[in-house]
A and B are shown apart, each in its own frame.
Chain A
Amino acid sequence: AQTVTQSQPEMSVQEAETVTLSCTYDTSESDYYLFWYKQPPSRQMILVIRQEAYKQQNATENRFSVNFQKAAKSFSLKISDSQLGDAAMYFCAYTTSGTYKYIFGTGTRLKVLA
C-alpha cells in the first residue's frame, strides 16, 4: 500500500530564514506525482508546488523549492526567506497516474517567528 510520512509534527523558523520540511513515501509505482499543500488556520488548502516523478529536475516556485530524491523516496520542501504569511499546516500528498485520489501525510505545522 502506498503511504506518505511526515515525521516533523511541528517546525519553527525565524522570519527571513530558510526551513526544510521532510516527506517520505512508499510506492512500487513508477509514474506518480507529488505535491505540497499549505493549509492556513481556518482557510482552505492551497497548492504550493508539484513534482512529476519522471522529471529529474527539482521543481521551484519563487521561494519554494523541493529536493526530490526518487531512489530514496524522499520529497522535501524548502522555504527560503520565510515570511509571517508562511505560517500554516503543510501537507505532502501523492497520487499515481490513473488513480487521481491523493494520499496525504499527517502534516507539519510551521511557525514563523518575528
Chain B
Amino acid sequence: DTGVSQDPRHKITKRGQNVTFRCDPISEHNRLYWYRQTLGQGPEFLTYFQNEAQLEKSRLLSDRFSAERPKGSFSTLEIQRTEQGDSAMYLCASSLGRGKISYEQYFGPGTRLTVT
C-alpha cells in the first residue's frame, strides 16, 4: 500500500459543469476526510467519514457539493454547477481511527480544480 491516492490530479472545467473527484485511502484506515486549499491558505475542512457514514459537514460544503463513501472504501466528491470560486486544491486524507495514532491524518496529493 503506497498511501492515499487521488484522481484526477488536475481538472479544468467550464463554469456550470459538474465534476467528480475520487480518493482511495490507505486500506486499513476507516476515517476519510476532505479539505479544500486555496492559494496561500491552509487547508479548510469540508467533511469526514467514518467507514461509510458521513459524520460531519462544514458550512463550506454548499448544496452543490456532495460526498459519498460507499462500502467504507474509496470516496467521491462531486461539485455540481461549478463556479469560479470553486477553483482550489481538493485534498483527501485518511486516518486509522483507533489507538494512539488515531488522530494522525495521511494526505493524498490532491486534485487541483480550475474553473474557467
Contacts and interface: CB of A to CB of B under 8 A. Distances in A.
B106 interface: yes
Interface centre among B41, B42, B105 (most CB of A within 10 A): B42
A44 B45 contact: no
Interface in A21-39: 33, 35, 37
Contacts of B45: 101-103
B103 A45 contact: no
B108 interface: yes
B41 A106 contact: yes
A95 B42 contact: no
A100 B44 CA distance: 13
What band does the interface of chain B fall in when counting residues whose beta carbon is under 8 Å from A?
20 to 34
Interface residues of A, number: 23
A104 interface: yes
A100 B31 contact: yes
Interface in A2-20: 4, 6
A51 to B, nearest CB: 11
7 contacts: A45-B91, A93-B42, A100-B31, A100-B95, A102-B45, A105-B42, A107-B42
Interface of B: 3-4, 31, 33, 35, 40-45, 48, 56, 91, 95, 103-110
Given A44-B3, A50-B104, A104-B44, 4 more contacts: A45-B107, A100-B103, A106-B42, A107-B42
